[in-house]
């Protein structure tokens, strides 16, 4: 395989062009009740002017839109027109999480990472937003994907305006909850609620003992639930002075333990519980038992080599192999008197990108879906469903050399009780350097896709997305 072909075969290979077309080749039958739009986002290019970016977190955000309608499937992709995208298109290199600007310390000193708006895309109250956790969202046109502009929600996001990439939408009220990490005057997490009129309300804050990486949270009927792990900026001065990349200054310090924060949705006092260290990024869903016990599902990692070990594959990125995609689904229980215990789910299945039927967000969910690796520390090549009531596991594995991304759930209105629907994922066809949309019945994964839609090109793996029913 030549270098060019090998690069194209990487799920992270760039797609620098923007497209609008109807998909010509659809196999199987798209279900009649599946009508809506799937949005996905991730770094569309990991190179600027021939300069290889240091980390997959640093690529400019590119949104994909799959519109499923009575006539088939339409595809569109657009880069988010961030300040960084505009400047990078003129070969200007910004500082990233794992990318240093050329020019050494002077070029990087006191520079915060550029907002590349590449982590998630969320639809709420008529708006579509691309998200990146250390800065403001960008508002996009849901149809054309045109960038409308940087969003501060009528001034509610102040200063840097960190608005994290994993908001949760309460299935009962339609309110969106989220948070942002603020560093000044001291490290803290600020929580938000956005109502159905689009107004953003500030909820509580709680202090962080030190600058920490907190990527996700979960929502219950009464609380926002945070597990703040001891993944910390261990050498903040080096990062600030530009002597090393931000990720190069981060460390996992298990001796510091994890701090669990329960932030009441109604603005009451925040409860903080100290427990043994977890190492995780994604929370799946949470709910409360009748006795007040809080239950939260996370994907937990136990990386060899701590932070550096986990981070390495995301820096090298030539494939998807590495411990970063081989976490363990775990259920964590936090009792009313502060006792914390956890139990593994899906034992022996290395996974990431947990998803649920969002009709059950903040309530007990019937099933969890993940992208799993069939080989330890391999690339995610299997979509797995865990039925919580029966404990049964079902899965669909793609061909050797292919990989899959996060399986997003599209609800079937006729199967609201059981939580049935379809899982939408993008399969990367390895050496063929092409991608396809895969549609699976969430209750019959092992029967294989009900439909696939072949793209005319490769689509980078990406991180997260959302499905919006018609
Ligand atoms: Fe994430």
- Tell how far the Cα of 106 is from the centroid of ligand 1, in angstroms: 31
State yes or no: cis peptide before 185, omega within 30 of 0: yes
- Tell how far the Cα of 353 is from the centroid of ligand 1, in angstroms: 7
Question: Mean pLDDT by 10-residue block, N- to C-terminus, for the chain (470 residues)?
Answer: 54 94 98 98 92 92 98 98 92 90 90 95 97 97 98 94 97 96 92 97 92 95 97 91 93 96 93 97 97 97 89 77 84 97 94 97 97 89 97 96 96 93 96 94 98 96 96
Q: Tell me, what's the pLDDT at 1?
A: 37
E strand or H helix that includes residue 42:
strand 36-45
Q: Tell me, what's the pLDDT at 318?
A: 67
- Predicted model pTM: 0.96
- Tell how far the Cα of 463 is from the centroid of ligand 1, in angstroms: 7
Distance CA 274, CA 209 (A): 12
- Tell how far the Cα of 434 is from the centroid of ligand 1, in angstroms: 24
> How far apart, in Å, are the Cα atoms of 386 and each of 132, 395, 412?
29, 9, 18
- Tell how far the Cα of 284 is from the centroid of ligand 1, in angstroms: 10
- Tell how far the Cα of 465 is from the centroid of ligand 1, in angstroms: 10
Query: Looking at the domain assignment, is residue 6 inside a domain?
Result: no
- Tell how far the Cα of 280 is from the centroid of ligand 1, in angstroms: 10
Q: Tell me, what's the pLDDT at 6?
A: 47
Query: Looking at the domain assignment, is residue 178 inside a domain?
Result: yes
Q: Tell me, what's the pLDDT at 323?
A: 72
- Tell how far the Cα of 120 is from the centroid of ligand 1, in angstroms: 7
Query: Looking at the domain assignment, is residue 161 inside a domain?
Result: yes
Query: Looking at the domain assignment, is residue 272 inside a domain?
Result: yes
Query: Looking at the domain assignment, is residue 408 inside a domain?
Result: yes
Distance CA 98, CA 108 (A): 12
- Tell how far the Cα of 184 is from the centroid of ligand 1, in angstroms: 24
| Residue-range definition of the domain harbouring residue 374 | 20-469
- Tell how far the Cα of 459 is from the centroid of ligand 1, in angstroms: 18
Query: Looking at the domain assignment, is residue 11 inside a domain?
Result: no
CATH number, residue 406:
2.130.10.10
Say if CB 152 and CB 102 are below 8 A apart.
no
- Tell how far the Cα of 140 is from the centroid of ligand 1, in angstroms: 20
- Tell how far the Cα of 166 is from the centroid of ligand 1, in angstroms: 7
Distance CA 94, CA 100 (A): 8
Query: Looking at the domain assignment, is residue 7 inside a domain?
Result: no
Query: Looking at the domain assignment, is residue 139 inside a domain?
Result: yes
Written as six digits, the tokens of 378 are 């391999």
- Tell how far the Cα of 119 is from the centroid of ligand 1, in angstroms: 7
How many structural domains compose the chain?
A: 1
Torsion of CA 230, 244, 187, 218, to 10 degrees: -50
- The owner of tokens 């804050």 is 205
- Tell how far the Cα of 162 is from the centroid of ligand 1, in angstroms: 15
């Amino acid at each position: 395989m030549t270098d060019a072909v090998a690069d194209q075969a990487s799920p992270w290979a760039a797609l620098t062009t923007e497209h609008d077309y109807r998909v010509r080749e659809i196999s199987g039958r798209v279900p009649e009740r599946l009508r809506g739009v799937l949005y996905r986002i991730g770094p569309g290019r990991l190179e600027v002017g021939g300069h290889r970016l240091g980390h997959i977190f640093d690529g400019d955000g590119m949104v994909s839109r799959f519109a499923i309608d009575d006539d088939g499937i339409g595809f569109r992709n657009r880069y988010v027109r961030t300040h960084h995208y505009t400047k990078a298109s003129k070969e200007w290199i910004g500082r990233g999480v794992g990318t240093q600007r050329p020019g050494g310390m002077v070029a990087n000193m006191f520079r915060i990472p550029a907002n590349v708006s590449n982590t998630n895309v969320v639809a709420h109250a008529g708006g579509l937003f691309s998200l990146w956790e250390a800065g403001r969202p960008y508002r996009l046109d849901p149809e054309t994907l045109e960038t409308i502009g940087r969003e501060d929600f009528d001034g509610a996001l102040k200063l840097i305006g960190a608005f994290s990439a994993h908001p949760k939408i309460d299935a009962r009220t339609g309110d969106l909850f989220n948070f942002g990490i603020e560093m000044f005057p001291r490290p803290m997490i600020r929580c938000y609620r956005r109502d159905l009129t689009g107004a953003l309300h500030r909820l509580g804050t709680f202090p962080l003992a030190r600058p920490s990486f907190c990527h996700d949270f979960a929502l219950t009927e009464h609380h926002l639930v945070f597990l703040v792990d001891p993944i910390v900026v261990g050498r903040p001065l080096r990062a600030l002075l530009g002597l090393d990349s931000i990720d190069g200054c981060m460390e996992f310090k298990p001796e510091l333990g994890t701090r669990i924060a329960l932030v009441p949705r109604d603005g009451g006092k925040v409860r903080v519980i100290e427990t043994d260290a977890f190492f995780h990024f994604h929370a799946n869903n949470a709910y409360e038992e009748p006795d007040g016990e809080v239950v939260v599902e996370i994907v937990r990692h136990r990386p060899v080599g701590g932070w550096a070990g986990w981070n390495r594959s995301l820096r090298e990125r030539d494939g998807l192999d590495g411990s970063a995609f081989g976490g363990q689904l775990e259920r964590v229980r936090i009792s009313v008197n502060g006792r914390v215990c956890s139990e593994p789910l899906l034992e022996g299945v290395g996974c990431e990108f947990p998803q649920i039927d969002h009709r059950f967000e903040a309530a007990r969910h019937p099933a969890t879906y993940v992208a799993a690796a069939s080989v330890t520390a391999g690339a995610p090549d299997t979509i797995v469903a865990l039925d919580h009531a029966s404990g049964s596991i079902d899965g669909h594995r793609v061909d050797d050399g292919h990989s899959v991304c996060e399986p997003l759930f599209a609800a079937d209105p006729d199967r609201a009780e059981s939580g049935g629907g379809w899982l939408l994922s993008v399969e990367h066809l390895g050496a063929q350097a092409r991608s396809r949309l895969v549609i699976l019945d969430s209750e019959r994964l092992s029967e294989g896709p009900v439909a696939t839609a072949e793209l005319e090109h490769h689509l980078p793996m990406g991180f997260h997305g959302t499905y919006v029913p018609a």
